[in-house]
Structure formats: C-alpha cells, structure tokens
C-alpha cells in the first residue's frame, strides 16, 4: 500500500493547495464485535478493525489535518449510514475523487453509489489497491465502463491545478443570510 498511499498524498497535497475539502472514510467496529452483524460473519477479517489498531488508523503518510473531515463507516460503501452525501451536497460539491482500497470492495461500492447520487466520480488509478492484480484490473475496468472516470495521478493533479480556489466560506455566508431572513 505504500505506492498507492504516496500517490494519494500527492493528490491530497494538490487539493489542499486549492483548499478543496479532504474526506477520509474509514471502516471500524467495536472491540467486542457486536456491531459486525452479518457483514462480519462473511468478512471475518473485519474483526481486526477497531480503534487504536494499525488496521483502523489512517496511514500516517496521508497526514490528516484538522481541516479534513473524517467519517466512520460500518459497511462497504462510504455513503450508506454516514453523513457523507449530505455533507457533499451541503458544500455544493459535484465531483468526488477516490483514492484507497479495496478496489473490489469498498472502493467499488462507494464509487458506484457516488455515481448513483449524481456526483462526477473519478478514481485515481495509481492511488487505489486491492489484494491481487487480477481483482484490481477487473474491478477498475468495470468501474470505468459504468460508474467512474479512471484517471492517472498526473491527470488529476493537473486538473486540480487549473481550478480556482473553492470558496467554501461563501456557502457559510449564504446560509447565514438565509437564516437571518
């Protein structure tokens, strides 16, 4: 995962230069596993994903900041039973750029659902991974045919570089004006 993490970090750094919001989504459960339910019966490795473990923590190379948004999920998609879609809509975000793992599981489910919600969905090819090259290629190919644009890290960074800074503060001002009326 070192290579994909480094590529993700390059994309994150480019996004931060434009003050684009960074969302981290991680999966985790209680130590006693009571919240694993049926998903945990099928995916027994999920029992290792609980707070204060290496498996649960965001890779330190990604350097989460206080301005980043951290979302905790229990299911394969970043959207189901989380506030992610409401946050994206509230911030008037129309494009979601994905980095992470696993291509054949969480990334696939999240990218598919992102597309279903109407977001322009982009996957950074070098910033995603899975347990085998075959799974990686098969699921990326399927995502690219149906739900997402599969782009290189260089292409995504170049496109981010051409953007104007995102004026999120203006959204706050607009909300305040509405509330005052």
Reading the block at residue 168, the tokens are 């999120």
Contact between 62 and 9 (Cβ < 8 Å):
yes
Reading the block at residue 15, the tokens are 């996004």
Catalytic residue among 43, 99, 106, 116: 106
DSSP 8-state symbol, 13: H
Reading the block at residue 6, the tokens are 């480094």
Annotation marks residue 106 as catalytic: yes
Q: Taking CA 128 as the corner, what is the angle to CA 126 and CA 134, rounded to the nearest 5 degrees?
A: 95
CB neighbourhood size of 87 (10 A): 14
Reading the block at residue 46, the tokens are 């999920």
Q: Please give the positions annotated as active site.
A: 106
């Amino acid at each position: 995962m070192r290579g994909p993490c480094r590529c993700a970090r390059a994309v994150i750094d480019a996004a931060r230069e434009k003050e684009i919001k960074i969302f981290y989504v991680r999966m985790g459960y209680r130590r006693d596993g009571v919240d694993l339910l049926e998903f945990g019966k099928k995916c027994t490795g999920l029992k290792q994903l609980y707070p204060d473990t290496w498996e649960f923590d965001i890779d330190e190379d990604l350097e989460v900041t206080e301005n980043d948004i951290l979302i905790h999920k229990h299911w394969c998609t970043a959207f189901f039973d989380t506030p992610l879609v409401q946050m994206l809509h509230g911030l008037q975000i129309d494009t979601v750029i994905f980095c992470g793992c696993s291509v054949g599981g969480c990334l696939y489910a999240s990218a598919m659902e992102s597309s279903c919600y109407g977001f322009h969905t982009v996957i950074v090819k070098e910033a995603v991974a899975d347990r085998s090259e075959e799974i990686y290629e098969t699921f990326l190919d399927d995502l690219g045919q149906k739900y997402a644009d599969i782009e290189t890290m260089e292409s995504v960074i170049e496109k981010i570089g051409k953007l104007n800074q995102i004026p999120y503060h203006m959204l706050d001002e607009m909300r305040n004006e509405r509330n005052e009326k």
